[in-house]
Structure 1
């Protein structure tokens, strides 16, 4: 058992954590938006993508158009960065017209409430250590939260392949996902290893979720869904993972003392 514990410590301390969100996008309190194309261009649309970091121009018209020093032909889509889109009110040339936009600033939430929710989830996860089946169920729920967060942040990225982004967003959590199946199978077979695997998965998910702490204090999150849903997923990953790690090892301690 000591060798297994040492292996866990080495894994958790040396594993590379996930990037907070896919594509290098980060939570923030400001978000750039397109308000209009002036004068309008028939069939041409513009919007901000990738968490307000890029302008996306779709040319549904009949003629090429210049966007960001690039010619966009009919039926083409072009994405580009422009530093002017960080101004409170901004304009970017688009052929003979301009793309008009603004930066909206929204104060972030009080992180204390989310930290309290995370702490409550940690306590709940710890008490799942009363039984192997409860630990396995907790592992499934917490891992599902991490998967949902990773997929949601990946879907928020436009113009890049899904799988590599998902792998980058999951980090060490990617190893925890298949271990969740191991924990469930061990619980069904009433194996003592259930508690250890649950503790390992919990610890790994805490490591994977650490970069996401900023989700608790910024208003705009790069996530394909409501921001509060993402915050809840992060709280469940961190708090639930911590509780599972503590509860799993407490189960092993109690089982060892009665052996």
Structure 2
């Protein structure tokens, strides 16, 4: 790994009442799953679409340590690649996190940001990290937040643009006419240690090249998420947080 950029999840607020039945949660997860939009260059060279985490895990366990870069847009558009989710009730609100796994991140400038294995996630709050309130982000079919995916390091953002550097918020994300996208609710898999996919309960960070998988990360606790603040001056660090709607308040 040459370097690692600052990674902050994108948090969306959705003003919808929370039902009482536990069975509602899976339906809520489908109803508010994000619609992902990719840069027009994604899938070219070493610019990778989301990957199947179980396939990556099995390859590493079998001794295959080759680079895993998903360049197949059809696997994303056709619903073959899963998005992973988990939910927590925090007070009177339901928080739902949606995780995507990438087998490889390309350099985000001349010489940094490259690594194998990467996780990104989006959180929707119903009733940090940078947060957008209703009316301040796009939706697809009314309820699904639209998230733009960085071309090289795969950060998630509420808008397109970027200047093409490793600074937070500056990874290119320009969908253009190809309009490459992912309907995440076509393939949602719940994250759980018991009765989940094999990788979910395995805490060995070697399979993920030194990263903890979602269940073992500190930000697994969705009730502890907060916003973030930052300067509009385009420098690295948390400058992108100036677009957060809630400052550094709790999510």
Q: TM-score by structure 2 length?
A: 0.22
Comparing both structures, which one devotes a greater share of its residues to helix?
1
Q: TM-score by structure 1 length?
A: 0.22
Comparing both structures, which one devotes a greater share of its residues to strand?
2
